[in-house]
Structure 1
């Protein structure tokens, strides 16, 4: 018997909005489903957390402008593979344009998707970006101008709210979708 299809919660927001922190907290707070617990998955795993991408001696990703579409496309294709194998996912990502959203929406069509927008004022994004020191200055501002303009969210959050408050809102919204007929929301 094949495993039950996994479910996915996508957290979309600008760079430095707090997506990874929220996803890690959600991973630990979400109840298991018939498919099991939720796993946290992120493009940052390829870009910052692992030695996956080719780097220059200065630490920059080699030929990033050339390989970027392939890396993003590969990441998107990983999601249905993980879901189809029966994994639940909470994913942080930055959807930069409607073409990326269209590609992802098509790949995830067979699955139960909860889409969450994490909003953050530009001033706060820039403060966080500078404090981190591991992001290119200006990325957060650029993301903030477009990232929420073409995606229909199930739930929208404010990054200035406490993480636990936002976790409670996502868990509550996700659970409410289960009760109202979201696909595959059966819990153990």
Structure 2
């Protein structure tokens, strides 16, 4: 069975990830049937208030579950559009270890810096300033296969650009490069620990 392709959109809240994902499902071939969003996974969690330490554990397990769900669907041959916010230090390193790096097109979604801050009050589900705080965290690794800017292009235009780029993914992919760097850093840490 052939592994499915994964278009992985990474950006802060309000950057336009979800709008691009919807456009992609509209314009891509019939293989792309699924949009897995971190917000959708989080929405499945109980509405009960959780203590901070319990919430942190639940959020981490939810994120790890999302990554493994993406991997499982891809292993079954499904093509998937992923909509994620890689704002926690463990999220990005986890992805290339469970997702097939060579099958992932990693897309950085940038938007006007003031747009997420403007949209937060209307959404009502995030603390003020969260998106601005996460911006540098999300893009700190600086390694994407493709970058889209919703400040200069509409979600539809970004989706078209991704569709055109998809058959010409670079080798090695960004996920492959990120995985290699992580493995090399781990070897260096082990060597230093032995010294």
- Note closer, same or farther for the CA distance 1:71–1:132 as it changes in structure 2 (3 Å cut): same
In structure 1, C-alpha distance between the alignment counterparts of 2:50 and 2:23, rounded to whole Å: 29
Number of equivalences:
170
Query: How far off its partner does 1:97 sit?
Result: 4.0
Q: Indicate the residue corresponding to 1:165 in structure 2.
A: 157
Give the TM-score normalised by the residue count of structure 2.
0.78
Give the TM-score normalised by the residue count of structure 1.
0.81
Unaligned runs of 5+ in 1: 183-188
Query: RMSD across aligned C-alpha pairs, in angstroms?
Result: 2.2
Q: Indicate the residue corresponding to 1:126 in structure 2.
A: 117
Flag the structure with more relative contact order, 1 or 2, with Cα contacts below 8 A and sequence separation at least 6: 1
**Is the 1:11–1:117 contact (alpha carbons within 8 Å) kept by the matching residues of 2?**
yes
In structure 1, C-alpha distance between the alignment counterparts of 2:94 and 2:68, rounded to whole Å: 9
Runs of 4+ in 1 over 4 A off after TM superposition: none
In structure 2, C-alpha distance between the alignment counterparts of 1:99 and 1:37, rounded to whole Å: 27
Q: Indicate the residue corresponding to 1:96 in structure 2.
A: 87
Secondary structure at 2:18's aligned position in 1?
Answer: helix
Query: How far off its partner does 1:133 sit?
Result: 2.4
- Pick from 50, 54, 71 the counterpart of residue 46 of structure 2: 54
In structure 1, C-alpha distance between the alignment counterparts of 2:16 and 2:29, rounded to whole Å: 22
